[in-house]
């Protein structure tokens, strides 16, 4: 008998399979928010923190998919374009 | 209606028509979103510079005045009166900070009391709140509310008057918006005087203020003769065509990130439901990234305070 797992099971399985990588991603997100808070009222420093976080995210994506053996040029572009979109949107607010 | 449903289905839900990935997440559509975001980013800067449309400041004195008095009234305190002299003192303080490139209550040999006295306001008790880098008036007052020293100034029962200044300028290497709020209570039986030359301060009997939190001071009698001041309430901007650039940019940014978040979640859920196996980026990772940025917008919206 075939059973279909729920979406939450699938997500949990993915997180468990790559627990260290997702932990690193989550930690980097928290560090980014911490720096945004520390640099309140200093938009240029907040923009630098944003740039570093976006760059880290793209590198994370490439590394994650390399270890997952699912790396493809399309996937690399996906992370780069989402990162670029975030940078440009936040630039409108910070610069 | 059918066309709308079909379009939304194509944009949000993976199917054979969009190669089993929500169209909004395709690389070509992401490039379109980047182009739109670029227009937003450079367009808002251009609108500010060209003044084609009426551009409203997002931080407005009348709004700060209204919110300050609402805060006082919530504590059962009487509202403050708006003082042109304290506003003049606040403007001079803001300009002094920009000119001398400092961000502090006391700087470059001047104290807040110097500016207040130079404006012709002889005080029994006075105080100052500062803020910089905020995007909206509500954020400024909320920031002061969440700081015990600034809140103590706003809710000090002894104050009768308040004045504000909102000034844009470069401070410590960054373009920013400064907000200076000056509080005061006139010396007893004294009428307001005309603002005087700062160099005439020397004959004023001034007690050196204590370095108390929230920066307040009491002063002895002044030698200045009182005159009348026309307390006036700042006019409300009524031009409905004015566009608040910060509000526009912030709203569009939030909407864009929100849209991405929704489409990522819908795509993830529907791909699982349909049992689609595909080679794409990890939606969960993208969701974590976008959610972090949405939370980050809160920190970007709120600026800094000085204690």
B44-64 pLDDT per residue, tens? 777 766 655 544 567 899 999
pLDDT tier for residue B272 given thresholds of 50, 70 and 90? confident
Pair B17, B70 in one domain:
no
- Looking at the domain assignment, is residue B285 inside a domain? yes
CB neighbour class for B240 (10 Å; exposed up to 12, middle 13-18, buried from 19): exposed
The mean pLDDT value for B247-256 works out to 87
First vs last C-alpha separation in chain A:
58
Pair B45, B140 in one domain:
no
- Classify each residue of B47-81 as buried b or exposed e, where b means 16 or more C-beta atoms within 10 Å of its C-beta: beeeeeeebbbbbbbebbbbbbbebbeeeeeeebb
Q: Tell me the CA distances in angstroms from B262 to B24, B135, B255, one per residue in order.
A: 11, 26, 10
User: What's B145's domain CATH number?
Assistant: 3.40.33.10
Q: Which of B184, B208, B233 is the last residue of a domain?
A: B184
Cα B111 to Cα B186: distance, rounded to the nearest angstrom:
18
Strands B174-186 and B123-132: antiparallel
Nearest chain A CA: its distance from B37 CA (Å): 6
Q: Could you report the predicted ipTM of this complex, rounded to two decimals?
A: 0.93
Provide the phi-psi class of B177: left if phi over 0, else alpha when psi is between -120 and 50, else beta: beta
Q: What is the pLDDT of residue B258?
A: 94
Cα-atom radius of gyration of chain B, to the nearest Å? 26
- Looking at the domain assignment, is residue B195 inside a domain? no
Other beta carbons less than 10 A from residue B223's beta carbon? 9
Give me the domain span that covers residue A77: 4-94
- pLDDT surpasses 90 at B173: no
Query: Could B286 and A42 be called an inter-chain contact, meaning their C-beta atoms sit closer than 8 Å?
Result: no
A58: contact with B, CB 8 A cutoff: no
Cα B96 to Cα B98: distance, rounded to the nearest angstrom:
5
Total domains, chain A: 1
Q: What is the pLDDT of residue A95?
A: 73
Cα B246 to Cα B136: distance, rounded to the nearest angstrom:
8
Which of A5, A22, A33, A41 is the mutation pick for testing B, counting most B CBs within 10 A? A41
The beta-carbon neighbor of B44 closest among A41, A57, A92 is: A92
Query: Could B282 and A14 be called an inter-chain contact, meaning their C-beta atoms sit closer than 8 Å?
Result: yes
Q: Report yes or no: B149 and B214 within 8 Å, Cβ to Cβ.
A: yes
Give me the domain span that covers residue B156: 59-184
- Better pLDDT: B124 or B305: B124
A14: contact with B, CB 8 A cutoff: yes
Strands B243-244 and B55-56: parallel
- H or E segment at B153? helix B148-154
- Better pLDDT: A42 or A26: A26
Pair B148, B108 in one domain:
yes
Q: What is the pLDDT of residue B247?
A: 81
Tell me the pLDDT tens digit for each residue of B21-49: 999 999 999 999 999 889 888 877 777 66
First vs last C-alpha separation in chain B:
57
- Looking at the domain assignment, is residue B218 inside a domain? no
A27: contact with B, CB 8 A cutoff: no
Q: Is the dihedral of CA B100, B106, B110, B112 positive or negative?
A: positive
A77: contact with B, CB 8 A cutoff: yes
Q: Mean pLDDT of all residues in chain B? A: 80
Q: Which of B168, B184, B200 is the last residue of a domain?
A: B184
- Looking at the domain assignment, is residue B157 inside a domain? yes
Pair B69, B179 in one domain:
yes
Pair B83, B128 in one domain:
yes
- Looking at the domain assignment, is residue B196 inside a domain? no
A35: contact with B, CB 8 A cutoff: no
Residue B41, both tokens: 């980013």
Q: What is the pLDDT of residue B225?
A: 29
Strands B161-171 and B81-82: parallel
Tell me which chain B residues have a C-beta less than 8 angstroms from the C-beta of A64: 282, 285
Tell me the pLDDT tens digit for each residue of A34-67: 999 999 888 889 999 999 999 999 999 999 999 9
Cα B91 to Cα B164: distance, rounded to the nearest angstrom:
7
Beta-carbon contacts below 8 Å between A and B = 134
A80: contact with B, CB 8 A cutoff: no
Nearest chain B CA: its distance from A19 CA (Å): 12
Pair B64, B177 in one domain:
yes
- Looking at the domain assignment, is residue B277 inside a domain? yes
Query: Could A60 and B285 be called an inter-chain contact, meaning their C-beta atoms sit closer than 8 Å?
Result: yes
Q: What is the pLDDT of residue B188?
A: 81
Pair B271, B168 in one domain:
no
Pair B144, B258 in one domain:
no
Q: Which of B184, B208, B243 is the last residue of a domain?
A: B184
Cα A5 to Cα A9: distance, rounded to the nearest angstrom:
6
Pair B129, B86 in one domain:
yes
- Looking at the domain assignment, is residue B205 inside a domain? no
Total domains, chain B: 2
Identify which of B129, B158, B162 has the alpha carbon closest to the alpha carbon of residue B146: B129
Tell me the pLDDT tens digit for each residue of B195-239: 444 333 333 323 223 322 344 443 322 323 233 344 444 444 334
> What DSSP string describes B184-209?
EEEPTT--------GGGGGGS--PPP
Q: Report yes or no: B192 and B229 within 8 Å, Cβ to Cβ.
A: yes
Residue B163, both tokens: 């004045």
**Residue of chain A nearest B255, judged by CA positions:** A89
Q: What is the pLDDT of residue B210?
A: 31
């Amino acid at each position: 008998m075939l059973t279909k797992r729920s979406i939450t099971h699938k997500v949990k399985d993915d997180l468990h399979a790559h627990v260290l990588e997702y932990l690193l991603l989550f930690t980097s997100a928290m560090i980014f928010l911490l720096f945004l808070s520390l640099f309140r009222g200093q938009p240029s420093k907040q923009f630098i923190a944003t740039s570093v976080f976006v760059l880290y995210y793209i590198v994370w994506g490439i590394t994650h998919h390399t270890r997952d053996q699912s790396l493809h040029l399309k996937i690399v572009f996906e992370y780069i374009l989402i990162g670029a979109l975030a940078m440009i949107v936040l630039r409108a607010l910070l610069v | 209606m059918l066309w709308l449903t079909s379009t939304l289905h194509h944009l949000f839900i993976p199917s054979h028509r969009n190669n089993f990935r929500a169209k909004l997440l395709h690389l070509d559509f992401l490039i379109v979103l980047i182009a739109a975001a670029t227009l937003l980013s450079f367009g808002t800067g251009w609108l500010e510079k060209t003044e084609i449309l009426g551009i409203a400041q997002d931080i407005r004195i009348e709004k700060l005045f209204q919110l300050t008095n609402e805060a006082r009234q919530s504590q059962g305190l009487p509202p403050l009166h708006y003082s042109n002299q304290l506003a003049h003192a606040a403007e001079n303080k803001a300009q002094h900070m920009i000119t001398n490139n400092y961000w502090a209550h006391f700087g470059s040999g001047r104290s807040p009391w110097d500016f207040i006295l130079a404006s012709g306001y002889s005080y029994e008790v006075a105080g100052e709140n500062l803020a910089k880098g905020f995007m909206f008036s509500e954020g400024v007052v909320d920031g002061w509310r969440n700081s015990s020293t600034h809140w103590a100034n706003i809710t000090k029962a002894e104050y009768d008057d308040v004045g504000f200044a909102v000034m844009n300028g470069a401070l410590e290497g960054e373009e920013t918006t400064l907000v200076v709020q000056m509080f005061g209570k006139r010396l007893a039986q004294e009428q307001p005087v005309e603002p005087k030359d700062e160099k005439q301060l020397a004959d004023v009997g001034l007690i050196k203020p204590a370095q108390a939190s929230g920066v307040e001071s009491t002063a002895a009698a002044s030698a200045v003769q009182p005159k009348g001041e026309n307390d006036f309430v700042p006019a409300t901007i009524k031009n409905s065509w004015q566009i608040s650039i910060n509000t526009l940019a912030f709203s569009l940014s939030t909407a864009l990130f929100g849209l991405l978040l929704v489409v990522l979640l819908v795509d993830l859920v529907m791909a699982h439901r349909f049992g689609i196996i595909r080679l794409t980026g990890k939606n969960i990772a993208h969701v974590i990234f976008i959610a972090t940025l949405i939370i980050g917008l809160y920190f970007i919206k709120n600026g800094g305070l000085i204690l």
